[in-house]
């Protein structure tokens, strides 16, 4: 029995119902070991299987494993029985940002703070090859310190979902917040579509109502396609100019996130790079402040290390055997040595190496492959000052091309500094064998 009385899995004490939908209920709960407040999302397996949503649930879990950031709602762990799936999530005490806007427009400096945090979170998702695709105030929660938390990744897409044209083709999202190119169904860039949604959200925060609204859905889509809207008279010239660049119906001309971050209005009264928050139990990463060593990677705690062990690995839920798009290496060297080694390997493979932030390197192929440009993320986590975990993931391109780089380039080059168990060696040999069979 998974729930006895109001105790779930002998780990969480369930409390009041926070909300419910067609397939899930969300309860307030308390971790019996740490006393930490969490939200438990209870999903009915039979219902989601009946309507074919199980892949969406799997994708949501997979995505939330990738995106650990102070402005993204954290997934602590996933538990399952024959009939139910349980998500243990960060508890956002402040509720939905939508509830604040429902009472009217926000002050400019308050709206700007939330917008800054939203852009930081979305930028982080994109750096991990994740596109949200359903950004709206209802999916933006607030913690007890009024810091924003992006939630609900059920409609998100991964960079590897792109078609050969390098675009996404699934039409999804909430009509009032969806980008014009998504409506046309000719393919779209996930990052540019997310930027549009962020612009609609900023407008709503400052105005108290939607820029595109009509009782006739076709007419509303026409307005969106032409970016036909008006600014309220209280909008300042700077924010009007910024919104005009975000809500540009031509995605080619639409402002990018790096340019948004350089905008003078955006930078006014700017919050710190990442909002201060206590590191919750079960959290994966800490992000360094501006004055800390930029080469110092994020830490992993005991929960994260255990969750990566073979018995707890959820990868098999999301990927076919022999087609894995991620690998892990345990390295007995300091972070600076690991970073230098990865840079050397990338250059020897003819790939462009760039640092995105502390502990994250991107390796991009010099020329286009079967499914666009191959791009690989190499993220370093500190276990101890002299022991690090390197997680390598394909963020774009063809899986077989990625596996060739991994097994013929990265693995051999890291062999002299990698600690490998017998089980890991067997798994590596199996992966290489599977790759040979697929080639």
Whether 349 has a pLDDT exceeding 60, the answer reads yes
Please state which of the ranges 171-180, 197-206, 299-308 shows the lowest mean pLDDT: 299-308
- Whether residue 434 is contained in a domain is answered as yes
Residues 241 and 381 in one domain: no
Judge whether residue 232 has pLDDT over 50. yes
Cα 81 to Cα 45, 328, 390, 409: the distances in Å are: 9, 28, 32, 40
Amino acid 281: pLDDT: 34
Judge whether residue 438 has pLDDT over 50: no
Q: Which of 134, 194, 304, 398 is catalytic?
A: 134
Distance CA 201, CA 389 (A): 37
Domain-located, residue 273: no
Indicate whether 432 belongs to any domain: yes
260 found inside a domain: yes
> Which of 189-193, 227-231, 238-242, 365-369 has the least mean pLDDT?
365-369
Q: Which pLDDT does position 3 carry in this prediction?
A: 66
Listed range (43-57, 203-217, 236-250) with the worst mean pLDDT? 43-57
Q: What is the CATH number of the domain that holds 139?
A: 1.10.510.10
Q: Residue 416: give its domain's CATH number.
A: 3.30.310.80
Short-list 262, 294, 411, CA closest to 349: 411
- How sure is the predictor about 224, in pLDDT bands with cuts at 50, 70 and 90? very high
361-394: per-residue pLDDT in tens?
A: 889 998 888 777 888 988 888 877 778 888 888 8
Per-residue model confidence (pLDDT) at position 304: 53
Shared domain for 69 and 115, answered yes or no, is no
**Residue 227 pLDDT greater than 80, yes or no:** yes
Q: Both 145 and 51 in a single domain?
A: no
Question: Would you state the pLDDT for residue 282?
Answer: 36
Spatial separation of the C-alpha atoms in residues 182 and 176, rounded to whole Å: 12
User: What pLDDT score does 313 carry?
Assistant: 44
As for how many domains the chain has, the answer is: 3
**Domain final position from 208, 242, 267:** 267
pLDDT the model gives residue 167? 77
pLDDT at site 318: 40
Do 71 and 151 lie in a common domain?
Answer: no
Q: Is 290 inside a domain boundary?
A: no
Residue 192 confidence (pLDDT) above 70: yes
Claim to verify: residue 100 and residue 228 sit in the same structural domain: yes
Both 258 and 333 in a single domain?
no
Confidence of residue 277 (pLDDT cuts 50, 70, 90): very low
pLDDT at 177: 95
Do both 236 and 169 map to the same domain?
A: yes
Six-digit token string for 152: 């609900």
Q: Say what the pLDDT of residue 293 is.
A: 46
Mean pLDDT over each residue of the chain, to the nearest integer: 82
- On whether residue 189 sits in a domain, the answer given is yes
Which of 146-160, 222-236, 257-271, 272-286 tops mean pLDDT?
222-236
Looking at the fold, whether 142 and 230 belong to one and the same domain comes out as yes
Q: Calculate the CA 16 to chain-centre distance.
A: 28
End residue of a domain, out of 64, 90, 116 = 90
Same domain as 180, residue 160: yes
**What is the share, in percent, of the chain residues with pLDDT greater than 70?**
80
- Establish whether 436 is a catalytic residue: no
Q: Tell me: pLDDT of 324 over 80.
A: no
CATH value at residue 50: 3.30.200.20
Q: How far is CA 252 from CA 24, 45, 192, in A?
A: 39, 41, 9
Indicate whether 280 belongs to any domain.
no
Residues 108 and 205 in one domain: yes
Q: Is the pLDDT of residue 437 over 90?
A: no
**Mean of the pLDDT values across residues 115-140?**
94
pLDDT digits (tens, 9 = 90+) for 46-83: 888 888 888 888 888 888 888 889 999 999 999 988 88
pTM over 0.85: no
Question: Could you give the C-alpha distances from 29 to 5, 7, 249, 399, in angstroms and in order?
Answer: 13, 9, 44, 40
Residue 215's alpha-carbon distances to 1, 243, 258, in angstroms, are 48, 24, 35
Looking at 267, 293, 311, the residue that finishes a domain is 267
Element spanning 229, H or E: none
pLDDT (tens digit per residue) in 160-186:
777 766 677 787 788 999 999 999 878
Q: CB burial class (10 A; 0-12, 13-18, 19+) of residue 357?
A: middle
Read off the pLDDT band of 298 (50, 70, 90): low
Same domain, residue pair 229 and 252 = yes
Asked whether residue 243 is domain-assigned, the answer is yes
Regarding whether 228 and 128 lie in a shared domain, the answer is yes
Is 347 within any annotated ligand binding site?
no
Q: Which of 29-43, 101-115, 130-144, 412-426 has the lowest mean pLDDT?
A: 412-426
The Cα–Cα gap between 64 and 325 comes to 16
Structural domain that includes position 134: 95-267
């Amino acid at each position: 029995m998974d729930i006895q009385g109001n105790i779930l899995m002998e780990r969480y004490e369930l409390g009041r119902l926070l909300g419910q939908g067609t397939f899930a209920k969300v309860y307030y709960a308390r971790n019996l070991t740490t006393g930490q407040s969490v939200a438990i999302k209870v999903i009915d397996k039979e219902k989601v299987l009946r309507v074919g949503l199980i892949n969406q649930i799997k994708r949501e879990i997979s995505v939330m494993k990738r995106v650990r950031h102070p402005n993204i709602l954290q997934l602590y762990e996933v538990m399952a029985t024959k009939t139910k799936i349980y998500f243990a999530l960060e508890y956002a005490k402040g509720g939905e940002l939508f509830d604040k806007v429902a009472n009217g427009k926000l002050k400019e400096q308050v709206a700007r703070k939330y917008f800054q945090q939203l852009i930081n979170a979305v930028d982080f998702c994109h750096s991990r090859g994740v596109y949200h695709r359903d950004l709206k105030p209802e999916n933006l929660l607030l913690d007890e310190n009024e810091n924003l938390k992006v939630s609900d990744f059920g409609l998100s897409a991964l960079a590897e979902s792109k078609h050969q044209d390098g675009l996404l083709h699934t039409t999804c999202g909430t009509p009032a917040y969806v980008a014009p190119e998504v409506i046309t169904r000719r393919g779209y860039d996930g990052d540019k579509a997310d930027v549009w949604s962020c612009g609609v959200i900023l407008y709503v925060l400052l105005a108290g109502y939607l820029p595109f609204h009509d009782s006739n859905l076709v007419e509303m889509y026409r307005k969106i396609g032409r970016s036909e809207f008006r600014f309220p008279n209280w909008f300042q010239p700077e924010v009007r100019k910024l919104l005009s660049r975000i809500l540009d119906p031509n995605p080619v001309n639409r402002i990018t996130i790096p340019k948004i971050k350089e905008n003078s209005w955006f930078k006014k009264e700017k919050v710190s790079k990442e909002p201060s928050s206590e590191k919750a139990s079960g959290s994966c990463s800490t992000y360094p402040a501006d004055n800390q060593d930029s080469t110092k990677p994020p830490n992993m705690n005991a929960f994260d290390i255990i969750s990566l062990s073979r018995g707890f690995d959820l990868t098999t839920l999301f990927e076919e055997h022999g087609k894995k798009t991620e690998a892990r290496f345990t390295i007995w060297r300091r972070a600076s040595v690991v970073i230098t080694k990865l840079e050397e390997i990338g250059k020897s493979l003819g790939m462009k190496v760039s640092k995105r932030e502390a502990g994250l390197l991107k390796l991009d192929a010099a020329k286009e492959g079967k499914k666009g440009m191959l791009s690989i993320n190499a993220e370093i986590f500190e276990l101890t000052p002299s022991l690090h975990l390197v997680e390598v993931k394909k963020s774009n391109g063809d899986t077989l091309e990625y596996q060739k780089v991994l097994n013929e380039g990265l693995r051999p080059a890291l062999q002299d500094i990698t600690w490998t168990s017998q089980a890991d060696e067997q798994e590596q040999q199996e992966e290489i064998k599977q790759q040979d069979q697929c080639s």
